[in-house]
Amino acid sequence: MVYIRYILGTMPKSITRTYSRYSLDATALLGGLIRTARKERKLTTQEVADRAGISRGLLQRIEKGDLKCEIGAVFEVATIVGVKLFEADETTLSRHLSQTRDKLKLLPKSVRKKSRAVRDDF
């Protein structure tokens, strides 16, 4: 079976994205914590990558703090090497989760802007 995968097209234009210092630092910190925890547990990059079901290259990028990695892969690796997210263990996390869901129910379902400026012209 043959599958049509490619045709002719125009030159692609790449998109660059900007990040705040806080996001950069947070991702770098998480990556560093993962790398530290992995070494303390004496696990090789290949072992952790296998357990997480990802490639060794992706694990390297995660440990470097690459902002373009998918969050599921990052969190999965963090879990495997024992880095706590939100500084919460499994039970605390799920409790916090349901609390957040309850809180959301109480908030308005959509945010509405003031339609016009307040009438102060009288």
Partner DNA sequence: ATAAAATGATCTATGTATAGCTCATATAGA
Partner DNA sequence: TCTATATGAGCTATACATAGATCATTTTAT
Binding site for its own copies (CB under 8 A): 1-12, 17-23, 25-30, 32-33, 35-36, 38-40, 42-44, 53, 67-76, 78-79, 85-87, 90, 93-94, 96-97, 100-101, 103-104, 107-108, 110-111, 113
**Binding partner of residue 28 among its own copies, DNA, none, CB under 5 to 8 Å per kind?**
its own copies
Q: In this complex, which beta carbon is closest to its own copies, that of residue 56 or of residue 67?
A: 67
CA distances from 87 to 10, 61, 82 (A): 48, 23, 11
Q: At what angle do helices 56-64 and 71-81 cross, to 10 degrees?
A: 90
Closest among 66, 98, 119 to 88, alpha carbons compared: 98
Instruction: Give CA–CA dist 52/74, Å, rounded.
Output: 9
51 binds, among its own copies, DNA, none (CB under 5 to 8 A by kind): none
| 65 within 8 A of 27, measured Cβ to Cβ | yes
Scan residues 62-101 and list those touching DNA (CB under 7 A): 63, 66, 68-70, 73
Question: Cα–Cα distance between 61 and 86 in angstroms, integer?
Answer: 22
Residues that bind DNA (CB under 7 A): 5, 9-16, 39, 44-46, 53-58, 60-61, 63, 66, 68-70, 73, 108-115
